[in-house]
Structure 1
Amino acid sequence: MRMARRSLLQGLGALEHMMLVQRGHLLHWVPVCLAVGIGGFFALRFEPDMTQLAGAAGLALTLALIARRTGEAFRPIPVALVLMLAGALLAAVRSHSVAGPVLGWRYYGAVEGRVVALDRSGSDAVRVTLDRVVLERVSPARTPLRVRVSLHGQMQGIDPQPGMRVMTTAHLSPPGGPTEPGGFDFQRHAWFAKLGAVGYARVPLVGLELPQNDWSLATFRVRMAISAHVRAALPGDVGGFAAAVTTGDRSGISLAALEDLRASNTAHLLAISGLHMGLLSGFVLGLLRLVLAAIPGAALRLPARRIAAVGALIAATGYLALSGGNVATERAYVMAAVALVAVMLNRRAISLRAVAIAAIIVLVLRPEALLGPGFQMSFAATVALVAVFGWMRDGRVKTGPRWLQPVVGVLMSSAIAGLATAPIGAAHFNTISHYALLANLASVPLMGMLVVPAAVLAALLAPFGLDWIGLWLMGLGLRWILAVAEWVASLDGARSFVHGPGPWVLPLIAFGALVVILWQGRARWGGLTAMALGGLLWAGADRPAALIAEDGGIVGVMTTQGRALSKEKGAGFVAQNWLENDGDGVDQQNAAARWQGDIASRTKLATVGLGAGTVELVHLIGKTGLADFASCAPGQVVVVSVTPQVPLAGCDVYDPKRLRTTGAIALVQGRDGVHLRTARDVTGDRMWSGWAR
């Protein structure tokens, strides 16, 4: 007993010493604790009611009181729990604050609304987002706050303009759920974008009312006007690229150029993110300091550094407004603003403390951003860069002769950022660009030295009608970047594909990396264990033996050659997602050729599983397939793309009506046979789910 007590006291003493060592570094863990709470809220399979949320708030208050009475060494433990509960409550408040009606059925009819956003879909169709929506025969209480419509076909109607009130006849449906259980949840994404319905139109768009002097859309109109001006001065993909990096409008760049940028891992140059915001702020900061230094006496009498930081912050704020203020740009702006304010206060601008403050602000304002690849990749790259260069600075590590240090710095920055973001990019996009470092080394420096300064020059010369000079210089840099992307994408083995990870893989890798970077003392190397465990779970993850789309339109069965699809055409988005998550680089047509049997038949039969646990899966496509189907065999699972008028006796049938209650389905091979798992099983019943009852 005495020995056990002594061991316990020694353990508590060691823990107390370890916690005291963390003093001065605990702010870094605040966004981590908030993220744990936010992630826990979104991982729930049920929607907490007000009683449960009030209970969580009461528990947080109790823990806060306990923290006040806890010793300095162990006080961070209850504080961490308070922050986790605060993160969950922030996510709950945000979820309720954006609530709006979601269309509960398929709608066809007149759609009227005001244009508040313009972009392009994955099929290169123009997409309009409308608010102040009016739907035929739908009461205002059931009408979504926003709808998004893709304009297909030969459109002879008007060109949609910001703020214009338009009308068309469209097919609308509720936002779709995950394409497979555990996949990307578009329903949740649409909820926070206030999209209550999505669809398409094949008839011309009619203008009902010209844009009014609505200040809420003033920046949108300015953005689109600048975008049109830039694309007129720089036609083709170069103009589309220039419009994307200046106004955030990506509608002018072709799908081929986008694919090259993605294959070379330079697509991040399109998004107005931390790189662009940092380059712009840094250029303006340096330019203003040079101008002030050139004025006799100004540098001696005025706080030039602080004035330059104020000017850079104003420029960054204008860039935020001009870009449309999407989540990625807001995140980049917060990070740049924190650094510039630190300059004004004579604090170190680039530090882990500044990164932590930026992450706290973003998570408080938009907790849902945590789940997106933009937030994860941005902060992963920033934390890794600040940590590595901080260690080198503190250790006085030299990177060669003075004249060579800038080149080595660029090489190291690209390599560090690439390594930090590689697991996240592979997890979300299922691809690895093998020549990403080469492409970024050839492109990123030119973005900072030519493209961004040329954009600032164009803005300064625009009032005098000389902006073409800056745009011409900008075009030179962007042509080079597009050429590099095309060349790298054409190299053999430029890109490989990886299968999607399980739900615990990224959290484990991220937590392990944060422990290595943020924790003080030798225990930090324990984070490598968590990272290794995440890697092992990823490598050992099995893909489903069969997948069924949420509308029954397509089925995919895993074979020795890869996933075989039941259709050559149609349901392309679902098919592409399945193949990407499998780590399979083939297209839908080649995947359909793997199907054993007549691919042209409207009735498809496949065997799922091994041994005694096998299940026969039948896919009936359309009314023809349904009419040709005679009867079920025992143990068959029948998937029908149309709802039968007469129930199929003795069959386990999944038709569109039933699938609306389950979402997409995965058949998973287990030790005791094939198990069926639905999207609803994984995501649960949340306020954004919209499952049919």
Structure 2
Amino acid sequence: MEETGARAFWAGPRDAIGAVLLAQRGHLFAWVPVMIGIGIGIFFGLRQEPQTGVLWAAGAAAAMLLLGARLLPEALRPLVVAGGLILGGLALAGLRAHLVAGPVLGFRYYGPVEGRVVAMDRSGSDAMRLTLDQVVLYNMSPERTPSRVRIALHGGAGGTARPGQIVMTTAHLSPPGGPVEPGGFDFQRHAWFLRLGAVGYTRVPVLRATDEAAGFSWAGLRLAMSERVQAALPGEPGGFAAAIITGDRSAMTQETLQALRVSNLAHLLAISGLHMGLLAGFVFAALRLIMACVPPLALRWPIRKFAAGGALAAAAVYLGLSGGNVATERAFVMVAVMLVAVMLDRRAISLRAVALAAIIVLALRPEAMLGPGFQMSFAATTALVAVFGRVSSYERGWVPGWLRPVTTVVISSLVAGLATAPFAAAHFNQIAHYGLLANLVSVPLMGVWVMPAAVLSVSLMPLGGEALGLWIMGLGLRWILGVAHWVAELDGARGVVTAPGPWVIPCLAWGALFVILWQGKLRFFGLLPVVAGFWIWSGAERPKVLISEDGRLVGVMTEAGRALSRERGAGFVAMNWLENDGDAGDQAAAAARWEAGAAEIARWDLKVLRGAQEVRGFDGCTASQRLVTPKDPDQNALPCQVFSPRSLRQSGAVALYLRKGEVITITARQISGTRLWNSRDIRRQ
């Protein structure tokens, strides 16, 4: 009797859940990347690295659940498949983390470095950087030598290095740094998946060990095209054109880059979904028009499919020219899915196409899900497809034909802006208040003028006639640059926000996806996690004290904002701290608060040694003090709490909070845990 009663008790909820899931039939495929993403998120959220046996078990369980789901009642299949996809995402992320594993430098190195140039770019401080593979370091075995290193060229260091060439120099190298604060951006993890085992700089010339690059390389072709573009179109427009065509931003000044960011036009600079879509769309339309002008071809052959194939080939070449970074790969996958759908007589633009593109990207690069590029591009694409799919009356003529292009641009910019704004604010701590205005007067020009001219210039380049296309292209780019500078100079153009907590983005993403993907009135329950996410964000707590992972910089929150212990040095750390605080000031302004806020800083009983002279003059500390020093003290046993390079190597950056009158210490290692990318012991296993 008891067993029968239990079955009856569970029968009601089971049948109700089954009925709800059956009502979603035909719309569940869009949830596949969401479930895979949950599994990936679980893997990266773990504090301890799972053993390989656990990952194999998760993969096997995922396969069993996905294959065995057909044996279950139809109403229960979605839940079982969801569980299998989550486990599959977990196993997939673990597999990727182990596949990219490579040696990581375990100490500071100074000496000769030799390697092949595989990439050239610029750092945030505008210094040229070389990424090298086939690395050779002095007195270091190949088993311990990093697979790739990245070297910034400082102090006039340079040379004529080109991609594919073997170069040598004398450089300072160190392991990739951890988060600049507990819970902050984890560069160690980012470098791990880029296979970067060391980063550093040099102040001496870079010498070429070989005169010519061996064989063909996309990087070499990209650099050669960039030079020709800038020679035919000098100045900022030429640098902008080179960035759009080849992905080379080296000719863009920091002032212009900042103007593009403040005006929310920086996405026009990066080769992303917009550029890939505009290029593929233009090539598709042009090829179809050309073939339509040949009656025998147009009447006997599927020219629409041929045009889609040609556009796909053009997009693949564009991918190679751009350097194949994560954002461009993601854009290519999305465009390829849509063009293949055209060739297979399927609907090209739909949520299923977006979901398929997301599945492919997550399968190839699970770590991309954590980056702003993935989140913002798929947020914009999903929102646009959903909105234009639901505004069915738009096609029935409620907008005059001559006004439809303008209406489409306005709706697209508004929807994409609203969809990406929370993610942009969370990752970059700023809001472009006039971004919609800037995009409305710039994005249409990019589509109808700049990208067609770019295709024309590249087509004429083998014949030496690229100047014509670049001249046309330059007219549009000058307009966009003018808009960027004008908008950036408006009062209140840039707003700053505090960095959100770890649960904000998951809440916003889950809620928005539920509203878009779920069918029926229950979708509006997705607004609850969205509201919860913004509520959590509004109460985000910033650390009262921050200590960098090398002990060189300390930041204390005062009434005037965060006060920094140094006016120069550790600029990347200082910039990130201030941005996460929602502080628009620079390091110099924050350093001026150190003396002005001496009384507030004194309450923390901090003793900060800011240079070699202060370290040499160190005369001890009391038990109540907290000592921060960039060098390990000579005394082995000090009565105070010491934050020195020796202790910080184990803990990473440190944050102090004041809660209920008690000081709480949180370290970066406590948040990030012990993982492949930050633990030498695990990498040796």
Normalized against structure 1, the TM-score is what? 0.95
**In the alignment, what sits opposite 2:138?**
136
User: Which of 100, 103, 109 pairs up with 2:111?
Assistant: 109
**In the alignment, what sits opposite 1:56?**
58
Confirm or deny that 1:205 pairs with 2:206: yes
**In the alignment, what sits opposite 2:40?**
38
1:690 positional shift: 3.8
State the Cα deviation string for residues 38-80 of structure 1 (Å, max 9, x = none). 1110111111112222332343244346523321011110110
Map 1:391-406; keep pairs closer than 5 Å: 391-393=390-392, 398=397, 400-406=399-405
SS of equivalent to 2:117: strand
Confirm or deny that 1:178 pairs with 2:179: yes
2:624 corresponds to which letter in structure 1?
Answer: G
Provide the C-alpha distance between the structure 2 equivalents of 1:367 and 1:430, rounded to a whole number of angstroms: 24
Question: Does the aligned pair in 2 maintain the 1:219–1:321 contact within 8 Å?
Answer: yes
Q: 1:337 to 1:61 in 2, by over 3 A?
A: closer
Confirm or deny that 1:158 pairs with 2:153: no
Where structure 1 has 5 or more consecutive residues not aligned to the other structure, the ranges are 609-614
Provide the C-alpha distance between the structure 2 equivalents of 1:193 and 1:65, rounded to a whole number of angstroms: 34
Provide the C-alpha distance between the structure 2 equivalents of 1:300 and 1:24, rounded to a whole number of angstroms: 36
Q: 1:656 to 1:589 in 2, by over 3 A?
A: same
2:210 corresponds to which letter in structure 1?
Answer: E
State the Cα deviation string for residues 277-316 of structure 1 (Å, max 9, x = none). 0000000111111111212333222211111111111111
Provide the C-alpha distance between the structure 2 equivalents of 1:352 and 1:598, rounded to a whole number of angstroms: 54
2:648 corresponds to which letter in structure 1?
Answer: L
Q: 1:188 to 1:379 in 2, by over 3 A?
A: same
User: Which of 607, 610, 631 pairs up with 1:642?
Assistant: 631
**In the alignment, what sits opposite 1:611?**
none
SS of equivalent to 1:493: coil
SS of equivalent to 2:295: coil
User: Which of 668, 673, 683 pairs up with 1:679?
Assistant: 668
Q: 1:115 to 1:42 in 2, by over 3 A?
A: same
Provide the C-alpha distance between the structure 2 equivalents of 1:87 and 1:520, rounded to a whole number of angstroms: 25
State the Cα deviation string for residues 558-612 of structure 1 (Å, max 9, x = none). 111111111111111100000000001011111111124699xxxx99246xxxx
Map 1:176-575; keep pairs closer than 5 Å: 176-215=177-216, 218-393=217-392, 398=397, 400-575=399-574
Provide the C-alpha distance between the structure 2 equivalents of 1:238 and 1:176, rounded to a whole number of angstroms: 35
Provide the C-alpha distance between the structure 2 equivalents of 1:242 and 1:310, rounded to a whole number of angstroms: 26
2:94 corresponds to which letter in structure 1?
Answer: A
Provide the C-alpha distance between the structure 2 equivalents of 1:598 and 1:423, rounded to a whole number of angstroms: 33
**In the alignment, what sits opposite 1:100?**
102
SS of equivalent to 1:140: coil
**In the alignment, what sits opposite 1:657?**
646
Confirm or deny that 1:26 pairs with 2:15: no
Provide the C-alpha distance between the structure 2 equivalents of 1:659 and 1:506, rounded to a whole number of angstroms: 29
Provide the C-alpha distance between the structure 1 equivalents of 2:241 and 2:468, rounded to a whole number of angstroms: 14
1:414 corresponds to which letter in structure 2?
Answer: S
**What percentage of aligned pairs have identical amino acids?**
58
1:331 corresponds to which letter in structure 2?
Answer: R
Q: 1:81 to 1:206 in 2, by over 3 A?
A: same
1:367 positional shift: 0.5
Higher mean displacement: 224-233 or 3-12:
3-12
Provide the C-alpha distance between the structure 2 equivalents of 1:678 and 1:479, rounded to a whole number of angstroms: 47
User: Which of 71, 78, 81 pairs up with 2:80?
Assistant: 78
Q: 1:598 to 1:522 in 2, by over 3 A?
A: closer
Question: Does the aligned pair in 2 maintain the 1:505–1:538 contact within 8 Å?
Answer: yes
2:309 corresponds to which letter in structure 1?
Answer: V
SS of equivalent to 1:416: helix
Provide the C-alpha distance between the structure 1 equivalents of 2:330 and 2:657, rounded to a whole number of angstroms: 39
1:177 corresponds to which letter in structure 2?
Answer: G
Question: Does the aligned pair in 1 maintain the 2:103–2:197 contact within 8 Å?
Answer: yes
Provide the C-alpha distance between the structure 2 equivalents of 1:341 and 1:556, rounded to a whole number of angstroms: 53
**In the alignment, what sits opposite 2:580?**
581
SS of equivalent to 1:594: helix
Provide the C-alpha distance between the structure 1 equivalents of 2:378 and 2:621, rounded to a whole number of angstroms: 53
Question: Does the aligned pair in 2 maintain the 1:162–1:211 contact within 8 Å?
Answer: no
**In the alignment, what sits opposite 2:616?**
627
1:6 positional shift: 6.9
Confirm or deny that 1:606 pairs with 2:607: no
Provide the C-alpha distance between the structure 2 equivalents of 1:682 and 1:169, rounded to a whole number of angstroms: 36
Question: Does the aligned pair in 2 maintain the 1:399–1:408 contact within 8 Å?
Answer: no
Question: Does the aligned pair in 2 maintain the 1:666–1:678 contact within 8 Å?
Answer: yes
Question: Does the aligned pair in 1 maintain the 2:165–2:214 contact within 8 Å?
Answer: no
Provide the C-alpha distance between the structure 1 equivalents of 2:23 and 2:223, rounded to a whole number of angstroms: 53
1:520 positional shift: 1.0
Question: Does the aligned pair in 1 maintain the 2:450–2:473 contact within 8 Å?
Answer: yes
Question: Does the aligned pair in 1 maintain the 2:146–2:196 contact within 8 Å?
Answer: yes
Where structure 2 has 5 or more consecutive residues not aligned to the other structure, the ranges are none
Provide the C-alpha distance between the structure 2 equivalents of 1:394 and 1:49, rounded to a whole number of angstroms: 54
1:395 positional shift: 7.8
State the Cα deviation string for residues 654-687 of structure 1 (Å, max 9, x = none). 1112111110000012225111000000000111
Provide the C-alpha distance between the structure 1 equivalents of 2:195 and 2:213, rounded to a whole number of angstroms: 23
SS of equivalent to 1:375: helix
1:36 positional shift: 0.4
1:233 positional shift: 1.1
2:196 corresponds to which letter in structure 1?
Answer: L
State the Cα deviation string for residues 492-524 of structure 1 (Å, max 9, x = none). 000010000011100110000000000111111
SS of equivalent to 1:585: coil
Question: Does the aligned pair in 1 maintain the 2:259–2:488 contact within 8 Å?
Answer: yes
1:164 corresponds to which letter in structure 2?
Answer: Q
Provide the C-alpha distance between the structure 2 equivalents of 1:191 and 1:94, rounded to a whole number of angstroms: 11
2:241 corresponds to which letter in structure 1?
Answer: A
User: Which of 634, 653, 669 pairs up with 2:658?
Assistant: 669
Question: Does the aligned pair in 2 maintain the 1:606–1:618 contact within 8 Å?
Answer: no
Question: Does the aligned pair in 1 maintain the 2:117–2:166 contact within 8 Å?
Answer: yes
Provide the C-alpha distance between the structure 2 equivalents of 1:54 and 1:312, rounded to a whole number of angstroms: 40
Provide the C-alpha distance between the structure 2 equivalents of 1:372 and 1:668, rounded to a whole number of angstroms: 27
1:11 positional shift: 3.2
1:185 positional shift: 0.4
SS of equivalent to 2:594: coil
2:201 corresponds to which letter in structure 1?
Answer: Y
SS of equivalent to 1:593: helix
Question: Does the aligned pair in 2 maintain the 1:173–1:199 contact within 8 Å?
Answer: yes
Question: Does the aligned pair in 1 maintain the 2:623–2:641 contact within 8 Å?
Answer: no
1:692 positional shift: 9.0
Q: 1:526 to 1:287 in 2, by over 3 A?
A: same
**In the alignment, what sits opposite 2:151?**
149
Corresponding residue pairs, total: 680
2:114 corresponds to which letter in structure 1?
Answer: E
State the Cα deviation string for residues 297-342 of structure 1 (Å, max 9, x = none). 3322221111111111111111111111111111000000000011
Question: Does the aligned pair in 1 maintain the 2:170–2:202 contact within 8 Å?
Answer: yes
Provide the C-alpha distance between the structure 1 equivalents of 2:55 and 2:292, rounded to a whole number of angstroms: 56
Provide the C-alpha distance between the structure 2 equivalents of 1:3 and 1:413, rounded to a whole number of angstroms: 55
Question: Does the aligned pair in 2 maintain the 1:616–1:637 contact within 8 Å?
Answer: yes
Provide the C-alpha distance between the structure 1 equivalents of 2:49 and 2:393, rounded to a whole number of angstroms: 48
SS of equivalent to 1:496: strand
Q: 1:85 to 1:5 in 2, by over 3 A?
A: closer
State the Cα deviation string for residues 10-35 of structure 1 (Å, max 9, x = none). 43332221100111011100000110
1:85 corresponds to which letter in structure 2?
Answer: L
SS of equivalent to 1:279: helix
